[in-house]
């Protein structure tokens, strides 16, 4: 599957696009971020991108997350909205620890998160309820993460991109 325009709309809305690198809002430092939430070893203070560079890097990052989700769903049928929400969630949170069984959505302990375990057993209602638990950075609840989690849940439950954004913006 591929992320739909609805999913891309939500992701772009909540990531925003900054063409000059900035420190992580949760830590005030690393990781440095640029474009639509891109991080990595080459992203550092003072780096500047053009809009086409930001778009190109976003599409590459999304393609990686789409592959990760598709491979790890192991044939489990997911709706387009569920897939979009999972791709957005993984884009925002990162893929977790490498080399861990079911390596997506892993906790610091290396265990799969409850959200991912519920998806893998087809408990989509239970999985939807897990998005709202992922709203902290550096131990602090972040207003932007509360909004994004509400929008991801709405997408997961079948809302359009515009509806999901409205729901997210009203959440905090």
In DSSP notation, 72-130 reads HHTT----HHHHHHHHHHHHHH----TTSTT-SSB-TTSPBPHHHHHHHTT-HHHHHTT
Which tokens is 53 given? 């560079």
Q: What does the angle CA 39 – CA 49 – CA 83 come to, to the nearest 5 degrees? A: 50
Q: What is the pLDDT of residues 91-139, one digit of tens each?
A: 988 755 444 344 456 556 667 788 888 998 899 999 999 999 988 877 8
Q: How many C-alpha atoms does 53 have within 13 Å on its Cβ side?
A: 12
Task: Provide the residue range defining the domain that includes 126.
Answer: 5-170
Tell me what pLDDT residue 120 has: 86
Q: What is the pLDDT of residues 16-58, one digit of tens each?
A: 999 999 998 767 777 899 999 988 889 999 999 999 999 999 9
Kindly state the average pLDDT of the residues 143-165: 97
Question: In this structure, how many other beta carbons lie within 10 angstroms of the beta carbon of residue 52?
Answer: 8
Tell me what pLDDT residue 104 has: 58
What is the total count of domains within the chain?
Answer: 1
- pTM for the model stands at 0.88
| pLDDT for residue 165 is more than 50 | yes
Select the more confidently predicted residue: 11 or 76: 11
Tell me what pLDDT residue 101 has: 43
Asked if 97 and 105 touch (Cβ cutoff 8 Å), the reply is: no
Select the more confidently predicted residue: 83 or 111: 83
Rounded alpha-carbon distances, angstroms, from residue 102 to 4, 29, 111: 24, 30, 8
| Spatial separation of the C-alpha atoms in residues 147 and 139, rounded to whole Å | 17
DSSP state of 26: T
Tell me what pLDDT residue 99 has: 40
Q: What is the CATH number of the domain that holds 166?
A: 1.10.530.40
| Spatial separation of the C-alpha atoms in residues 141 and 146, rounded to whole Å | 8
């Amino acid at each position: 599957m591929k992320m739909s325009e609805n999913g891309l709309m939500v992701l772009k809305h909540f990531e925003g696009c900054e063409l000059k690198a900035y420190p992580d809002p949760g830590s005030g430092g690393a990781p440095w971020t640029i474009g639509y939430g891109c991080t990595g070893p080459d992203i550092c203070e003072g780096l500047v991108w053009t809009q086409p560079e930001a778009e190109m890097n976003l599409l590459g990052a999304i393609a990686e997350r789409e592959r990760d989700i598709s491979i790890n769903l192991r044939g489990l049928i997911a709706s387009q909205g569920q897939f979009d929400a999972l791709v957005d969630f993984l884009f925002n949170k990162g893929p977790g620890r490498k080399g861990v069984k079911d390596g997506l959505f892993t906790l610091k302990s290396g265990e799969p998160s409850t959200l991912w375990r519920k998806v893998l057993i087809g408990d989509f209602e239970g999985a939807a309820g897990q998005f709202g638990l992922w709203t902290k950075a550096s131990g602090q609840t972040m207003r932007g993460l509360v909004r994004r989690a509400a929008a991801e849940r709405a997408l997961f439950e079948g809302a359009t991109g515009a509806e999901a954004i409205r729901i997210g913006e009203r959440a905090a």
